[in-house]
Amino acid sequence: MHEETVYEALEHAPGDERHWAFGTGFDDPLAGVDTTVPDGVDPTDLGTYCLMLGDDALVLAQRLTQWITAAPELEEEVAVANVALDLLGQARLLLARAGSVGVLGRSRERATESIPDEDALAYFRDPDEFRNTALVEAPNGDFARTIARLFVAAAVRLALFARLRASRDPVLAAIAAKGVNELAYHRDHAARWLLRLGDGTAESHRRAQDGVDAVWPLLADLFTATEAETRLAAAGVAVDPATLRDEVRTVLLEVLARATLTAPPWPDDAPLRGRLGEHGPELAALLTELQGLAREHPAATW
């Protein structure tokens, strides 16, 4: 029987099935979906693309969990946890897809054979093997900065997933079809907080503006395509991120204006770094927290 929550799965899963997983004891995350690679598509490109999207979700989920027990309201702790769980679910599916086309590399060598592909990719890659953007790995800062980052990240990801529903890859299309509703909630929840903070007290306005100012430069490389994205977009599998820029900018500017916040100048496109595995020390610290227990006890079961 499929378990409804991570906690139910941990409690009820039989012995040998209780491994490190984003939902230990859950069914195969890709069960019932055609995992055949579309004709004319390089499996390596597809796996790399899934890593990009999966790593963005995994790293941002980890950042958000750092607010649990520290959010300004009890209800917000529940909301932040739910957003993180949504992203974790997306990460699990995307990393499973990457594993299904053979993109495992050194992570599989470091993990035990009994560990699912998505777990090997999450827990047993080093920072230079991650393909997430600087936007999601940046430290949280205060609550206003976290909200500003979540709003930007959700706006970009929602625009992307809305288009990925038409992907020629049936797995990406299925993930996107499920994810758009989650991401619409993430974006709108963060937007409401920005309105509340920006149009609130002088102190909340100042913090919200500082958060926007800190996050805005991290937009610089979000709309630059990697070579794999360009090839996959031409094949009808991926989305060229440059095509998202105008839609995302319109959404961001409209919400900031309503929140009485000033949008900084739109940043010039910057060379890719995170998508190529170039990260700051912040990611290494985050991964130490995320991966430590699994690496210390790779064959452990709960």
pLDDT tens for 34-57 read 889 999 999 999 999 999 999 999
Long-range contacts for 72-77 (Cβ within 8 Å, ≥24 apart)? 72/143
Give CA–CA dist 56/211, Å, rounded: 20
Lowest mean pLDDT, pick from 203-207, 218-222, 297-301? 297-301
Q: Give residue 124's identity as a one-letter amino acid code.
A: F
- Residue 297: enclosing H or E segment and its boundaries? none
- For residues 12-32, give the mean pLDDT: 50
Nearest alpha-carbon partner for 221 in 249, 243, 248, 241: 241
Q: What average pLDDT does the structure give for the chain?
A: 90
Q: What is the CA radius of gyration of the chain?
A: 19
Q: How many CB atoms lie within 10 A of CB 231?
A: 18
Alpha-carbon dihedral 253, 254, 260, 266, rounded to 10 degrees = 0
State the fold for domain 39-296.
Ferritin (1.20.1260)
**CA 206 – CA 202 distance, rounded (Å):** 6
Taking the C-alpha atoms of residue 119 and residue 125, their distance in angstroms, rounded to an integer, is: 10
Q: Phi and psi (nearest 5°) for 101?
A: -105, 10
| Domain regions of the chain by residue span | 39-296
Question: Residue 40 contacts by C-beta under 8 Å, 6 or more apart in sequence?
Answer: 235
Q: What is the pLDDT of residues 271-291, one digit of tens each?
A: 999 999 999 999 999 999 999
160 Cβ partners below 8 Å, 6+ apart? 53, 239, 241, 244
When pLDDT is cut at 50, 70 and 90, the band that residue 25 belongs to is very low
> By C-alpha distance, which of 214, 230, 213 is closest to 275?
230
Contacts within 8 Å (CB) and 24+ apart, 122-127: 122/22, 122/58, 122/91, 122/95, 122/290, 122/291, 123/20, 123/290, 123/291, 123/294, 123/295, 123/298, 124/291, 124/294, 124/295, 124/298, 126/287, 127/277, 127/279, 127/283, 127/284, 127/287
Q: Return the higher-pLDDT residue of 113 and 6.
A: 113
Mean pLDDT within 106-114: 83
